[in-house]
Amino acid sequence: MFRQGLRIGIRQFCSNGSDKTPPAGSFRSPWKILKEEFQAVKQGQPLPTELPVPREVDILVVGGGLIGSAVAYWIKQRHPKGVSLMVLEKDMSYTRASSTLSAGGLRHQFSMAENIQLSLFCTDFLRNIKEHLSVLDQDPPCVPFNHQGYLFLVPPDSVEQCLKNHALQTELGAKIELLTCSRLKEKFPWLNLDGVELGSYGVEGEGWFDPYCLLQAFKQKNQSLGVRYVTGELTEFDFREERIMMGSESNSHKILDSAVIKGKDGKMYETRFAVVINCAGAWAGDVARKAMIGLGPGDLSTPLPVEPRKRYVYAIHCPDGPGVASPLTVDSSLTYYRQDGYGGHYICGCSPTEENEPCTDDLEVNYDYFHENVWPSLASRVPKFECLKLKSAWAGFYDYNTFDQNLIIGNHPYHRNMIFANGLSGHGVQHATGIGRAVMELIIDNDFKTIDLSRLGFERLIYKEPVLEQHIV
């Protein structure tokens, strides 16, 4: 009995208390570590060379979609051995991720200089993708890009805004043509031009691509650079306290120190990091809440206003449809369609109004929405679409920024080591590359160097100064 008591005493003395693998620097029983090491001898199987979840990393990227992978790529390619980076993704098959469910359009026709520049950079990147993302001894990355361009149909009351946008776009280097009704009739005879004054047509660099191919290309390159992709779910953050002395009073400041991750095997691991980058897409708001953003006093009282919004994409078949020459056409009612392959297949959709926002519990498709909202406006714009067959549909989430539907990028004023790259509300896929580079510049060069995104920081949410994009689809 004495021996038992002694054994319990030693176990308590030497153990860690919980079942969690502690972060770097915290005590973990050497006995346990040695036991794990020599398990390989007992089992006769070699141990993996790395832990399933590392105990410390320099940069933790939460979210392994396009934005997370782009951020990881840009940081790692700058200095592969200098920074240790981990991408945490809870679903490596990307079944609910916005990146893979996106329609994959790339347009330069925005009203904000930042958005235009980001899209222009993405076009340039895709053009030179083999230079950027090739890995030695592996297949070169292949992201086929359909150069068909975007066509925005502008009603009379939006012409002024359209002209302003066009001036800005041309100044920044985008090749956009403004077409009058007669030119539109010539180029796109299948369109019904009632209520259309002007057409804004991108002639170079706009189009669409398969975002899954881009994601795989990024992943392949990242893994060759040494990025650790870890399957797991972030359950909470751990903080460390620091006292700030200001005159005679002292405040305590909680600093994000480590992340508690539930691994693929169900065990809990804790990883210490220096910087955490929130690339969680539609679930960015959850991640922010775990860091007490929105739930605390002072600077922590402003929540991250990003929530998932469901959007439907319908696949239709219309053999007499507009055909190969058709760009991605966007109506003033925000109904859009584009062709999908060469067999007369198209995909189309329409953003619902605020009142009709569908429920985001799941990714079920509402086919009534197509029949009531999308088909009528589609058919009125393109008469040929009156007889079509609805083949299938899918739904995906926008990471919708409820404040001003624009990117939130930069570090949080309180949690200085948490960097956001969220809230893209539907243009995440086309801006991912540029955002990745911007975050890299923030971390390594301490400021935006190529595209200045300082207007889109978190501070505008606290000061309530929205930066609105006029051209939302």
Partner 1 sequence: MSLVFVYSGVLGGCAFSGFLMSDGLSSSLVVLSWWISLLMLVASQGSVKVGLNKFSLFSLCVCVLNFILMVSFFCVDIVWFYVFFEASLVPTFILILGWGYQPERLQAGMYMMLYTITASLPLLALILYKFELCGTSSFLLKNFLCEFYGNGFVGWSGMVGSEVVFCLGFGAFLVKLPMFSLHLWLPKAHVEAPVAGSMILAGVLLKLGGYGMIRVYSYFCLSSYSVFSDVMLCLGLWGGVVTGFICFRQVDLKSLIAYSSVGHMSLMLGGCLSNSSWGWQAALGMMLAHGLCSSGMFALANYNYEKTGTRSLVMSKGMLMISPYMSMWWFVFCVANMAGPPSINLLSEIMVFPSVLFKSFWLFVPLGLMSFLAAVYSLFLYTSTQHGGFPKFGFPYGGMSSSSSLVAFMHYFPINGLILKSDLVCFWVI
- Alpha-carbon distance of 24 to 22, in angstroms, equals 7
CA distances (Å), origin 346, targets 103, 190, 200, 231, 472: 11, 15, 21, 35, 21
Q: Is 359 in the site for partner 1 (CB under 8 A)?
A: no
- Alpha-carbon distance of 244 to 310, in angstroms, equals 43
Choice from 163, 213, 274, 365 touching partner 1 (CB under 8 A): 274
Q: Pick the piece of the chain touching partner 1 (CB under 8 A) from 137-145, 271-279, 315-323, 340-348.
A: 271-279
- Convert residues 425-444 into a mask of x (bound to partner 1 by CB under 8 A) and - (unbound): -----------------xxx
Contacts with partner 1 by CB under 8 A: the residue count is 50
Phi, psi of 149 (to 5 degrees): 80, 170
Q: Is 265 in the site for partner 1 (CB under 8 A)?
A: no
Choice from 34, 167, 325, 468 touching partner 1 (CB under 8 A): 34
Q: Is 286 in the site for partner 1 (CB under 8 A)?
A: no
Q: Is 457 in the site for partner 1 (CB under 8 A)?
A: no
Could you tell me the smallest distance in angstroms from the CB atom of residue 74 to partner 1?
Answer: 13
Angle at which helices 159-172 and 113-127 cross, to 10°: 50
CA distances (Å), origin 161, targets 111, 158, 173, 405: 8, 5, 18, 18
Q: Is 58 in the site for partner 1 (CB under 8 A)?
A: yes
- Alpha-carbon distance of 172 to 108, in angstroms, equals 10
User: Which residues are within 8 A (CB) of 404 and not within 5 positions of it... i.e. 6 or more apart?
Assistant: 460, 466, 467, 468, 469
- Alpha-carbon distance of 403 to 401, in angstroms, equals 5
Q: Pick the piece of the chain touching partner 1 (CB under 8 A) from 151-159, 218-226, 397-405, 415-423.
A: 415-423
Sign of CA dihedral 67, 351, 289, 16: negative
Q: Pick the piece of the chain touching partner 1 (CB under 8 A) from 86-94, 172-180, 203-211, 273-281.
A: 273-281
Q: Is 257 in the site for partner 1 (CB under 8 A)?
A: yes
Q: Is 1 in the site for partner 1 (CB under 8 A)?
A: no
Of 269 and 336, the one with the shorter C-beta distance to partner 1 is 269
Q: Interaction with partner 1 in 84-143: which residues (CB under 8 A)? A: 84
Choice from 131, 362, 372, 445 touching partner 1 (CB under 8 A): 445
Q: Is 249 in the site for partner 1 (CB under 8 A)?
A: no
Choice from 36, 131, 452, 465 touching partner 1 (CB under 8 A): 36
Q: Tokens 């406006």: give the residue.
A: 377
Q: Pick the piece of the chain touching partner 1 (CB under 8 A) from 140-148, 266-274, 332-340, 390-398.
A: 266-274
Of 54 and 349, the one with the shorter C-beta distance to partner 1 is 54
Q: Is 47 in the site for partner 1 (CB under 8 A)?
A: yes
Q: Pick the piece of the chain touching partner 1 (CB under 8 A) from 51-59, 124-132, 135-143, 162-170.
A: 51-59
| Binding site residues, partner 1, CB under 8 A | 13-14, 24-30, 33-34, 36-37, 47, 49-51, 54-56, 58-59, 78-79, 81-84, 242-245, 253, 255, 257, 272-275, 410-411, 416-417, 419, 442-447
